[in-house]
Structure 1
Amino acid sequence: MIPFPEPTAPAGSRTEVFLGYLDYFRESVVAKVSVLDEAELRRSRLPSGWTPLELLTHLRHVELRWIEWGFQGRDVAEPWGDRREDRWYVAPEVTRAELVAALRAQGAHTTAVVTAHDLAEIGAPGPRWDGADPASLERVLFHLVQEYARHLGHLDVVAELAGGSTGE
């Protein structure tokens, strides 16, 4: 497990801080879903109806949408591939291992992009921005950090209801 990136820990740059938090939150999500049994992975314990595997694929697609489709301006075949009929979806045959590997691969891509660009750099124009001016890499990363932190909190609740570990 990656240790929490304490605010008092020295960091060489803001880029290092952003990547440290993203890595921490990503691996914390992986740790939470790794201890849940198969039934809990595919079961929703919340009125909103999402499952832990659906959350896992959602977070992978969030990074895809904001880094590749957004900041890089790449053509992405299925930017909303985590959704079906306006809710998160994971096909029954998709495994935890596949989703964890996809999330980590997406994270490696994010790291490669972030380390190759300045935080002030503005994203490429494209459909991700829905007609608005593209955001800077720093704003994209800030959004990703809050997305991960928020959803890790949701997953904490689900893991606790399933009898798993709680908190950090």
Structure 2
Amino acid sequence: MTIEFPAPTTPAADQAEVFVRYLDYYRETLLSKVAALPAAELRASRLPSGWTPLELVKHLRHVERRWIEWGFQGAPVDDPWADRRDDRWHVGPAESLEQLTAELRAQGEHTTAVARGTALDAIGRPGPRWDGADPASLERILFHLLQEYARHTGHIDIVAELTGGPTGE
């Protein structure tokens, strides 16, 4: 799926729609770049930090889950750090790009429903996600998610360039 960049001049009904458009754009751009990589590159790392493209996809799914479900909604989450093992990102041998892509898109649909159905100034529920701090507003959480996606989409741009995959926006 390809989504055009959400130009700042395109009218939006409200701020939530702006957040959703940008999150959708970055999520789908990242997924399309990962999908275009050679299969051998999905579980390999080109970077000193050692993360792989599949690990990045899984990480972003869990980032959204931690911030929206566990944080903002205060929902119980059995393993909020399920994208990590031994203090680094982890993907099991049975996890596939197709599975991780479907999980990330489903998480994105949940984020979209929350963003469209909740006032942006609504404050998250107190809970373990906040580690004793006051919960953040939905607007702050969506802004955080947006910067997380923009940063990691830039990271996958670099990996794609190193592997001969697609580059640019």
**TM-score (structure 2 length as normaliser):** 0.98
SS in 1 for 2:98: helix
Deviation at 1:76, TM superposition (A): 0.3
1:122-167, CA deviations, whole angstroms, 9 ceiling, x for partnerless residues? 0000000010000000000000000000000000000000001111
Runs of 4+ in 1 over 4 A off after TM superposition: none
CA-based RMSD: 0.5
Q: Write the deviation string for residues 98-135 of structure 1: whole angstroms up to 9, x where unpaired.
A: 00000000000111111110000000000000100000
**1:37: Cα distance to partner?**
2.0
Map of 1:60 onto structure 2: 61
Counterpart position of 1:118: 119
Deviations 1:17-47 (A, max 9, x none): 0000000000001101111122100000000
SS in 2 for 1:27: helix
Q: How far apart in 1 are the matches of 2:39 and 2:165? A: 13
CA distance in 1 between counterparts of 2:12 and 2:127 reads 33
Aligned residue number for residue 79 of structure 2: 78
Q: Distance in 2 between matches of 1:92 and 1:160?
A: 25
Report deviation, 1:65: 0.2
Aligned-partner residue type, residue 81 of structure 1: A
In the alignment, the residues of structure 1 paired with residue 71 and residue 27 of structure 2 have an alpha-carbon distance, to the nearest angstrom, of 20
Aligned to 1:34: 35
Tell me, in whole angstroms, the C-alpha distance in 2 between the residues paired with 1:3 and 1:121: 29
Q: Distance in 1 between matches of 2:73 and 2:115?
A: 10
Q: How many percent identity over aligned positions?
A: 67
1:94 aligns to what?
A: 95
| Residues 3-12 or 59-68, more deviating | 3-12
Q: How many residues align?
A: 168
1:56-89 per-residue CA deviation (whole Å, 9 max, x = no partner) reads 0000000000000000000001100000000000
Moved more, 17-26 or 108-117: 108-117
Residue matched to 2:5: 4
Output the CA distance in 2 between the equivalents of 1:78 and 1:115: 26
Q: Return the letter of the residue paired with 1:111.
A: T
Unaligned runs of 5+ in 1: none
* Corresponding position of 1:14: 15
Distance (Å, rounded) in 2 between the aligned partners of 1:162 and 1:37: 8
Distance of 1:167 and 1:130 partners within structure 2: 38
Instruction: Trace 1:127-146 onto structure 2 (pairs within 5 A).
Output: 127-146=128-147
